[in-house]
Amino acid sequence: MLNADLKQQLGTYLQNLRQDVRLVVSADDSKKSQELLELANDIASLSPLVSVTRAKLELTPAMQVTNAQGADIRFAGLPMGHEFTSLVMALLHTGGHPLKLEAEIIEQIKALPEQLRFETFVSLSCQNCPEVVQALNMMAALNPGISNTMIDGALFQDEVESRQIMAVPSVYLNGELFAQGRTSLKEILAKVDKHAGAREVEALERREPYEVLIVGAGPAGASAAIYAARKGLRTALVADRFGGQVTETVGIENFISVKATEGPKLVANLEAHVRDYEVDLIENQKAIRLTQDGLYQLDLASGARLSSKTVLISTGARWREMNVPGEKEYRGRGVAYCPHCDGPLFKGKRVAVIGGGNSGIEAAIDLANIVEHVTVLEFDTKLRADEVLVRKARSMGNIDIITQAQTTEVTGDGNKVTGLVYTDRSSGDSHSIALAGIFVQIGLVPNTEWLKETLELTARGEIVVDQRGQTSLPGVFAAGDVTNAAYKQIIIAMGSGATASLGAFDFLIRQGEEQASQAA
């Protein structure tokens, strides 16, 4: 099942096992079952601490990774693709290899008193799913009262349809929908640990004022944090989660000096780099208000307040929505924004892509290899994507492109999407299309709603900055996609983060000189 290179790499990892790991395989005569059994035997052949047994599990094909302490981590389907890393991590964690978690997080997980049975529906092409699977697997490795089952949605279509799952990752807890979309370990703990929020607020309120407080942890925020820390400034980075939009980017081929990488891998490297410095990384927190009372005060949705001499905003942007009837009602039930994640759930079905830019046409091409048919709807009179992408899309036999099409409604049966309605802008006629899924790819919206009465914004809601990243408020800087920067690119966001951070450093120096002069 595993080629020689993978076996060699996996064998090296398994040298870190410190205790016995048992693989319990539930298999029948199907091809996937036999492949899973072969995978289990390949793993066992690489370490004397790994054994394989056969047993009937709730789902087949499936494999349970367990140990003497009763860890219960399961993979329903073949954990390859993005989820192969989740399997490797599960082997290491159940085998006694230390988890890379803060001591207080480990104790928090061990102290959870309830029986928590998680089921995580994924697609093997979803780059966001492993983060969720691995977070829940770590919980299961630490607490025998917690279990997690990764379920390949493309393989277990009956389970997907019975739960009406049309977006991944989808997490169920004790049979009820718990979370959908990318979710961090801290977010999960905040929901299952009833006292976690109050403890976090109390801890944050005790923080001393910072010199640089960065809001947003995408490429711009990470870059700013590193530059500020390298200047010796007391620095904090606060965000709802690390990585921003980059986490949802599959292929990155224009990051100079790196020929090709993927969003989650780049984000992991960014976070590791930030953690090399003395930066307070405050996650699972959302900024809601910025005021000034001598120092700048940042109010968080949790109720906590942080203070700082300067603030650097790098909250990035989010997917733009169509804002038509039915979109919000059917989000996650046929309306999707990540074709790489959710595309496999629509195998053999008819879908639409809204948007004819590079993102939209790339999505259409990717989906055309999975689904029965793709209809691209573009508002403008022509596609805005690069010509090479347009030629590729037109060459595929199952992609139709409609220009001057304004989507006016998403239709459904109350449970899931059944189609959409659009207006032909050239004739004014209204048309309906029967569909199972709609992938929205019409650009980004800056995350600045909480700053509308505080900073100067463009008509599009972007923060106006000068060449140093300075905003309309002295001591408040901004960087990345949230600003009026001409181009929204990862490398440009990183550069602007460095610029704004150096701008904040310069501001603090000059402010200190002015205070010293006044005192003299």
User: How many whole angstroms separate alpha carbon 272 and alpha carbon 226?
Assistant: 11
Tell me how long the chain is.
520
User: How many whole angstroms separate alpha carbon 43 and alpha carbon 428?
Assistant: 61
User: How many whole angstroms separate alpha carbon 156 and alpha carbon 168?
Assistant: 13
Give residues with Cβ within 8 angstroms of 412, minimum separation 6.
326, 329, 330, 333, 334, 418
- Options 72, 152, 342, 366, the catalytic residue: 342
Q: Are 422 and 410 in contact (CB under 8 A)?
A: no
Q: Are 84 and 151 in contact (CB under 8 A)?
A: no
Q: 412 to each of 111, 164, 181, how far by Cα in Å?
A: 43, 13, 21
- Options 72, 129, 152, 338, the catalytic residue: 338
Q: Are 313 and 478 in contact (CB under 8 A)?
A: yes
Q: Is residue 338 annotated as part of the catalytic site, yes or no? A: yes
Q: Are 473 and 455 in contact (CB under 8 A)?
A: yes
Is residue 61 reached through a cis peptide bond, with omega within 30 degrees of 0 on the bond before it? yes
DSSP-derived secondary structure letter, 38: H
User: How many whole angstroms separate alpha carbon 520 and alpha carbon 509?
Assistant: 17
User: How many whole angstroms separate alpha carbon 198 and alpha carbon 298?
Assistant: 18
- Options 126, 152, 341, 481, the catalytic residue: 341
Q: Is residue 28 annotated as part of the catalytic site, yes or no? A: no
Crossing angle between the packed helical segments 185-192 and 196-205, to the nearest 10 degrees: 120
User: How many whole angstroms separate alpha carbon 311 and alpha carbon 152?
Assistant: 43
Cα angle: 77, vertex 82, 84; to 5 degrees: 60
Please choose, from the candidates 134, 74, 73, 146, the residue with its C-alpha nearest in 3D space to the C-alpha of residue 108: 146
User: How many whole angstroms separate alpha carbon 252 and alpha carbon 260?
Assistant: 6
Give residues with Cβ within 8 angstroms of 244, minimum separation 6.
216, 217, 218, 219, 221, 316
Q: Which residues pair with 173 in a beta bridge?
A: 118, 176
DSSP per residue over 99-161, as a string? PSS-HHHHHHHHT--S-EEEEEEE-TT-SSHHHHHHHHHHHHHH-TTEEEEEEETTT-HHHHH
The region that residue 181 occupies, defined by phi over 0 for left and psi between -120 and 50 for alpha, beta otherwise, is left
Q: Is residue 342 annotated as part of the catalytic site, yes or no? A: yes
| Amino acid occupying residue 374 | V
Q: Which residues pair with 407 in a beta bridge?
A: 422
Report CA torsion sign: 430, 432, 433, 437.
Answer: positive
The set of catalytic residues is 338, 341-342
